[in-house]
A and B are shown apart, each in its own frame.
Chain A
Amino acid sequence: DAGVTQSPTHLIKTRGQHVTLRCSPISGHKSVSWYQQVLGQGPQFIFQYYEKEERGRGNFPDRFSARQFPNYSSELNVNALLLGDSALYLCASSLLPGQLNQPQHFGDGTRLSIL
C-alpha cells in the first residue's frame, strides 16, 4: 500500500511569492496534519484537518492556510513567502484525530527553499 505522498519533493521560490504543497494520505486515513521542520530543529505543528474541517492550528501567521478535500487529500498554502519559511514541510495522516493508538504516518516532505 502507498504511504503518505507529498508533492513536489523540492521547490524553490523567491520572497513574496506564494506556494501550494500537496499531500495524499494513506488510503482510509481521514485526518491530515502539517508540520514545518526548519533545518536543525524539530517539526512544528501547523494544522490538523479532519473530515475537511480544521481541527487545530499551531502558532503560525495567517499567511499559512490549508484545506482538505472530499478524498481527504490536503493542500498547504503559504502566501507572501519570507526567507524564514525555508523548511521541510511534512504531512502526516492517521485514521482519526486524537486516536493516538493509531500512529501518525509521515510523508517524506517537501523541501521548500526561499531565495
Chain B
Amino acid sequence: AQSVTQLDSQVPVFEEAPVELRCNYSSSVSVYLFWYVQYPNQGLQLLLKYLSGSTLVESINGFEAEFNKSQTSFHLRKPSVHISDTAEYFCAVSRRDDYKLSFGAGTTVTVRA
C-alpha cells in the first residue's frame, strides 16, 4: 500500500515570499505523484503531476515540484506567492498499475499581505 505524509499542516507566509510544502511518500512499487489544490468550499483541482521523465515539473501558475526518488519526496515550491494562493494543498500518490489516489492530510497555506 502507498502512503503520503505532508510534513506541515499549516504554513503562513507573506505575499511575494517563497513557500515550500513538503511531501514524502512510501511505496514498494513505482508510483505517479500529484499535487492538488482545494479552495474553500470547492473540490480539488490538479496543480501538477509527475508521471515520468524530467523530475522537475511545473504548473502554469508558477508552482513547481521535484520528484526525488532516493528521498521519496515530492516537495512543492513557489518563489513568490500571491494572496490568491491561499488554499489547502494535497499531495497524492497512485501506483502505476492502479487508478485510485492516496492523499496526504493536506497543508493549509495562508498568504498575508
A: which residues have CB within 8 A of B?
4, 31, 33, 35, 40-45, 48, 55-56, 58, 90, 92, 97-98, 100-101, 103-104, 106-109
Interface of A is mostly: loop
Cβ of B47 to closest chain A Cβ, rounded Å? 10
A109 vs B32: C-alpha distance when bound (angstroms)? 24
Residues of A close to B32: CB separation below 8 A = 100
A33 vs B100: C-alpha distance when bound (angstroms)? 8
Q: Are B43 and A100 in contact (CB under 8 A)?
A: no
Interface size on B, residues (CB 8 A): 25
Cβ of B59 to closest chain A Cβ, rounded Å? 12
The interface bits of chain B over 14-48 (1 if a CB of A lies within 8 angstroms of the residue's CB, else 0) are 00000000000000000010001000011111100
Q: Are A42 and B43 in contact (CB under 8 A)?
A: no
Nearest-neighbor residue (CB-CB) of A98 within chain B: B99
Cβ of B39 to closest chain A Cβ, rounded Å? 10
Q: Are A109 and B46 in contact (CB under 8 A)?
A: no
Provide 20 A-B residue pairs closer than 8 Å at the C-beta atoms, listed in order of the A residue: A4-B43, A42-B4, A42-B103, A42-B106, A43-B90, A43-B101, A44-B103, A45-B102, A55-B99, A56-B100, A58-B100, A90-B44, A98-B98, A100-B32, A103-B49, A104-B101, A106-B36, A106-B45, A108-B42, A109-B43
Q: Are B100 and A42 in contact (CB under 8 A)?
A: no
Cβ of B44 to closest chain A Cβ, rounded Å? 4
The interface bits of chain B over 99-113 (1 if a CB of A lies within 8 angstroms of the residue's CB, else 0) are 111111110000000
